[in-house]
Structures are given as structure tokens and as C-alpha cells.
Amino acid sequence: MGHKQGLILRCPPRLGRASKDARDSTMDAPASIDLLSLAREMIRRPSVTPCDAGALDVLEAALKRISFACHRLPFGSGESGPDARVDNLYARVGSGRPHFCFAGHTDVVPPGDKAKWSLDPFAGEIKDGQLWGRGAADMKGAIAAFVAAADAFLRAKGKAFAGSISLLITGDEEGDAVNGTDKVLRWMEEKGERPDMCVVGEPTNPERLGDMIKIGRRGSMTGYLTVAGVMGHTAYPQLADNPAHRLVRMLDAVARAKLDEGSAHFQASTLQITTIDIGNPATNVIPAEAKGVFNIRFNDQHTSKAITVWLREKFDRAMAEIGPGCSYKLEVKVSGESFVTQPGPLSALVAECVKAEINRTPELSTTGGTSDARFIRRLCPVVEFGGVGKTMHKIDERMAVADLEGLARIYRRILERVFTA
């Protein structure tokens, strides 16, 4: 599994329900979770992937106050790169069924040029009715809403609560996603921790809270194409074999082709060339090698394996049309396969809670990039619903305080529906 058992930090050794005395005393105590304070404290920890910077400490402390059993799960051993050490958190209260899981990430993308921000990106300031800072929208705000919703629900439910609520929080969603959610899920499977359903708090809404629920995501794969040729003088092309000419023909063959016309829940698959690199400083030299990189976002009509076969067929045909000579190498990196949670009980439940709280009927969509829902779907049905994503990854990322509060109320409604169904 790639982690050291001795590195599980500051956590109770037992999964499952917190002690009855602890939960009963919590129910009688004043509210311990302040939504805005928790969101601001997490934003103030500059948890740029893979650095946690104390964000999970803040979250863990809040969850322990409301009797969640917390388990810190670090994976990886390096300081950077694909095996960079990443801290993760799994927390659960209750031991019965149904088991509802909230999932998300505390890691954020770099802020860019801080001088261009209107406010310090890691100050967690509130101004003009907005919570400002890196991670406000994507997605520390939603995580704070998870906790506030769970706190309010548990206090209202009291001793009548017989199910389970968990949080699966990673520090590796914005990075390579190697030592994050995927490995936490494997750990959960080994421990018998299988949720019945999950909501991921990604900022799914394009313009307004309640616009959109994500029920799936396209797959993503990147191709690295290298063509080897024969170097020579541009005045004597008959003595060389230009790999750049072949590369252009090969890339054109796949760029012009349509993979599909879309499907019931997905838009058409797309292929985009992202770079062509030859590195030739001389204008009178035919290069020995040419490289190209492209990214494919594909729908549920394909697998990455089938698309790789399609690519090789296209490239082989293009090479044959030019004639024998050069050779090529294709390497493929798959970020995730396409998936969809068919519209049904979970998406309907979330949509009904959104409608009841803010009188808006969300669209069911699969647009956008990838998310950690691609891993979670192997354990249970999963949908995504969070804040508004207009400012995520941008300068001046922010989230309306009214949206944050509304999101927490929607999450509480979801819990109420799940545990009274």
C-alpha cells in the first residue's frame, strides 16, 4: 500500500463510533463549529500540493470536537515528484448503516503572483460579502460546510442517529493524485470501511449555487509521441529523413479525426495538441528527432486502452503513407477513465435538497476536468456538488459568504434525507 503504519498520527486506534458519553455530552454543549472561522483557518494554511501546512490539523481538531474518530494517513516518501509524501485524513462518526461520506481535498494550487491579488491569498479575509483566498472555492469552503452540516445534524438528531457519517479528505487532488484518495480508499477497503454513497464538494456550479451537479467525468489521457529520423542538410533532403514532416502528418491524422459524436450524458470526446518540440537551433539542418504531446478527454464510449489502439492504427497508417524510414514511439499516461453515476436515487436526493433550500433545479452534468470521484466510484455511488467555480485557480479566488452558508444548509438537508429515508 506504500505507507508506513507507524506514521498514522494523533488518531484513535479504533474505527467506528465514538464513545456514547462523548457523543451525548457533545449534543448538550453549545455549537462548537463556526462555519466561517473554520473555512478561514484552513485558508490561512498555505497547503499547496503536496504541502499540508497544518490544514488537516485544523480540520482534525474541528472533527474531534464533534466526536469523529480521526485517522491520519500519510503516503509516499519523497519531498517532491510522483512519490511526494502526502498527508490525508479519514474521519467517521457512527457505526451503523447507512454510511454517508463527504469527500474532498485541502490541497490547493499555487497562488501565482501574490502582488496581483486584491487581498493576501492566504489571509482568509472577508470583504464585500465574500470569503477571499486560495482554496475558498476549491475547496476548503465546502469542507468547512461538510463539518458545519454534520455538527448541526448530529446535535439535532441526538441519540436517534444510528448510521455513520465520514469524511475522506486528501492532500493530493491538485497534484499527481498518486498518494491521495486512491490509496486512502484501498486502506478503507482493508478496514471494511465502505460507504453507501458519497458527495464530493468540488465547485460544480458555473454561475450560481445550485446550477449543476456532476454525475460523472470524462476520462483524461496524455500521449507523448516521439519520431526518430535521419539528420541531414536541408539542401540535400534526399540524404535525410525529416521526422518533423512525419510528426506533423501523424498529429494531423488524429487531430482531424472524430472519436465520437457524444453520448447520453457526455459531450463529444476531444483531442488537443499541447506542444510540438524539435529543439533545432539551426535553420539549415533537418533534425534527428521531433516530439509532440496531446491530451484526450474521452467519454463513456471509450476506454484508454481502446483509444491507445486507435492512436497506433492512425499513426501506423500515416507513417506508411509517407513511406518507410523513420520510426516512432508512443507513450501514454492515463489520469483517469470516464465514469458516470446514472441518474437515480443519489442525484435525485441531492437535487431535491438543492431545490428545497434555494428553489433552483440543478442540471446533471459531466463537464469539466477530472476529480477524485473517479476513484470513489469503485466503492459506491458518487456525485459532486459544491460552490461556484468561477474564480477557482484564478487570482482573487473567493466564495460568497451567502453561498457558503447555503451550501452548509444543503449538506445538512442531504444528511437529514439520508438518515430518515
Active site residues: 107, 173
Closest Cα to residue 173, out of 97, 230, 106, 221? 106
Q: In which residue are the cell numbers 485557480 written?
A: 393
Is residue 361 within 8 A of residue 211, CB to CB? The reply is no
How many residues are recorded in the chain? 421
Contacts of residue 139, defined as CB under 8 A and 6 or more positions apart, other chains included, come to 104, 105, 201, 202, 203, 386, 387
Closest Cα to residue 187, out of 105, 93, 88? 88
Q: What distances in angstroms separate CA 179 from CA 184, 193, 370, one per listed residue?
A: 8, 18, 16
